[in-house]
């Protein structure tokens, strides 16, 4: 079933969204992008004459109530965005009455799903090496099924519009779908768009294809890096991982972030890129700082020769040029992860050079996909989000989808 073809009038729809929005000190929403992202789906249901039960997670409360992560804090923002009142259910597992009382056009927001260990389905208070772990896991999986059934019982139809958690087999993202037949479950508009964007990258690659992987570590990106090696023409590896590559090749990296146990892996990536004919672009010079702070003293040095007491926090001018050259001529572009500590205003140049080159390539007809919290924060900071082809709401989910993995949240709908 597709959301466009479904008539929601008189139906109760339970919708999994990603309202994991950043909150300021005072508990106020500081960036409502994710709320706005879900609006097309939520409004379609309400305008059709359906009633809405909205569910989401926020943060990592590890299976228990924590007021810091209560979705009650965002109730008014959701109400404002929808232009109507929103009721709130403090207990996700006990909302039958509130759901049953919903009239067409009414909205009920459930409390943070992750206050319940059943949502993630991981046993709590027991370590993986405990002999009783497997038993506890089995028991928790059963509890997860029951929790998912309870959520499903509130509604006639299930919509998944939370791409950011689609790579997780959680109660609300996947298990719940088993309680609905194929005619009564579907992806929301945001999910449809995300799936389409991944498809654009993977199905009909216009060449050259340039992927830019940044961020702090090689270890968390290795799966996608290896996978991309079979697909891309240019692979830019930047950000903190620059220094693992520099050290692996005999460089001196001072205090720079460096994964000493990943030096062989870095050499292996260099070798594989050569074998596969991929143009691997690594940082050659960097902006080194004498401390990890925005106001640190800086100098441009070779990534291979960073003095003791200094650390590379951003890409240098020569590197920025090389990055831009590999991006400007591309026809397909994927960017995940910043090229420097972009949170500090004085270390944004590398990420900005990447964003500018992507915008130029996009203006010349490239399809550009930017995904992952930090690269999205970059294009927002540079006010360039509307100048790339697509900004994904997914981090891990996007990377897994690009790796070609079937995402449980999507598979559960298609079943």
Q: Which is nearer to ligand AMP, 226 or 374 (CB)?
A: 374
* Selected catalytic residue, list 217, 272, 331, 381: 217
Secondary structure, 3-state, 153-213: HCCCEEEECCHHHCCCCCCCCCHHHHHCCHHHEEECHHHHHHHHHHHHHHCCCCCCEEEEE
- 36 assigned to active site: no
**Is residue 206 annotated as a catalytic residue, yes or no?**
no
Residue 158 neighbours by CB under 8 Å, 6+ apart? 13, 14, 15, 16, 152, 176, 177, 179, 180, 184, 185, 186
Residue indicated by tokens 């590999």 = 326
Nearer to ligand AMP, 50 or 215 (CB): 215
- Within 10 angstroms of residue 280's Cβ, the number of other Cβ atoms is 19
Question: Which residues of the chain form contacts with ligand AMP (CB under 6 A)?
Answer: 215-217, 220, 239-240, 257, 312-313, 337-338, 340-341, 343, 374
Identify whether the C-beta of residue 172 lies closer than 8 Å to the C-beta of residue 148: yes
Question: Which residue, 96 or 294, is less far from ligand AMP as judged by CB?
Answer: 294
Is the CB of 90 or the CB of 381 nearer to ligand AMP? 381
Q: Which of 149, 373, 381, 405 is catalytic?
A: 373
Shortest Å distance, C-beta 339 to ligand AMP: 7
Catalytic, out of 34, 169, 193, 247: 34
Q: Could you tell me the CA-to-CA distances from 201 to 165, 237, 393, 406 in Å, in that order?
A: 20, 19, 16, 15
Active site (annotated) includes residue 396: yes
Crossing angle of helices 349-363 and 373-381, rounded to 10°: 80
372 is catalytic: no
Q: Which of 240, 254, 396, 409 is catalytic?
A: 396
Cβ-proximal residue to ligand AMP, closest one: 215
User: Scanning the structure block, which residue is given the tokens 């702090």?
Assistant: 216
Q: Are 369 and 200 in contact (CB under 8 A)?
A: yes
Question: Is-contact 17 54, C-beta < 8 A?
Answer: yes
For residues 106 and 259, which CB has a smaller minimum distance to ligand AMP in the complex? 259
- d(CA 169, CA 36) in angstroms, rounded, equals 25
User: What is the smallest separation between the CB atom of 112 and ligand AMP, expressed in angstroms?
Assistant: 23
- Our CB check for ligand AMP shows the closer of 178 and 374 to be 374
Q: Within a 13 Å sphere around the CA of 113, how many CA atoms are in the beta-carbon half? A: 27
Q: Which is nearer to ligand AMP, 12 or 167 (CB)?
A: 167
Two tokens, residue 246: 């520099």
φ/ψ bin of 45: left (φ > 0), alpha (ψ from -120 to 50), beta (otherwise): alpha
Min dist. Cβ of residue 261 to ligand AMP (A): 16
Side-chain-side CA neighbours of residue 368 (13 Å): 30
Least distance in Å: CB of 337 to ligand AMP? 4
Cα–Cα nearest to 46, from 120, 88, 102, 90:
102
Cβ contact 21:74 at 8 Å: yes
Q: Are 392 and 369 in contact (CB under 8 A)?
A: yes
**CA distance from start to end of the chain:** 11
C-beta of 86 vs 281, nearer to ligand AMP: 281
Helix (H) or strand (E) holding 61: none
**Residue numbers annotated as active site:** 34, 217, 373, 396
């Amino acid at each position: 079933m597709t959301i466009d073809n479904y008539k929601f009038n008189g139906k109760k729809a339970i919708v999994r969204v990603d309202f994991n929005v950043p909150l300021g000190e005072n508990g106020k929403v500081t960036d409502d992008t994710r709320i706005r992202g879900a609006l097309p789906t939520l409004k379609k249901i309400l305008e059709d004459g359906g009633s809405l039960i909205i569910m989401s997670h926020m943060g990592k409360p590890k299976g228990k109530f924590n007021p810091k992560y209560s979705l009650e804090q965002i109730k008014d923002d959701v109400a404002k965005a929808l232009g109507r009142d929103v009721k709130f259910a403090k207990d996700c597992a006990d909302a039958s009455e509130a759901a049953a009382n919903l009239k067409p056009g009414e909205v009920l927001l459930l409390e943070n799903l992750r206050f319940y260990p059943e949502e993630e389905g991981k046993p709590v208070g027991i370590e993986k090496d405990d002999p009783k772990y497997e038993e506890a896991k089995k028991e928790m999986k059963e509890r997860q099924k029951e929790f998912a059934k309870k959520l499903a019982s509130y509604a006639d139809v299930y919509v998944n519009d939370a791409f950011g958690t689609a790579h997780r087999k959680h109660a609300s993202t996947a298990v719940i779908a088993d309680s609905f037949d194929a005619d009564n479950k579907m992806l929301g508009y945001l999910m449809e768009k995300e799936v389409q964007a991944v498809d654009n990258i993977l199905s009909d690659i216009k060449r050259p294809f340039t992927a830019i992987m940044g961020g702090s570590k090689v270890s968390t990106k290795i799966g996608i890096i290896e996978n991309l090696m079979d697909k891309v023409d240019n692979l830019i590896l930047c950000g903190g991982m620059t220094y693992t590559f520099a050290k692996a090749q005999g460089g001196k990296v001072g205090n720079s972030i460096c994964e000493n146990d990943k030096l062989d892996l870095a050499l292996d990536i260099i070798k594989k890129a050569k074998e596969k004919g991929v143009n691997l672009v690594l940082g050659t010079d960097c902006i080194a700082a004498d401390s990890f702070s925005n106001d640190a003293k800086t100098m441009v040095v070779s990534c291979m020769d960073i003095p003791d007491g200094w650390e590379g926090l951003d890409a240098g001018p020569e590197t920025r040029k090389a990055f831009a050259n590999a991006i400007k001529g591309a026809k397909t572009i994927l960017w995940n992860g910043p090229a420097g500590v972009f949170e500090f205003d004085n270390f944004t140049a590398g990420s900005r050079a990447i964003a500018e080159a992507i915008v130029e390539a996009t203006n010349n007809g490239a399809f550009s996909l930017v995904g992952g919290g930090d690269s999205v924060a970059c294009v927002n900071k540079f006010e360039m989000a509307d100048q790339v082809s697509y900004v994904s709401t997914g981090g891990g989910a996007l990377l897994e989808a690009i790796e070609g993995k079937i995402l449980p949240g999507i598979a559960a709908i298609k079943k």
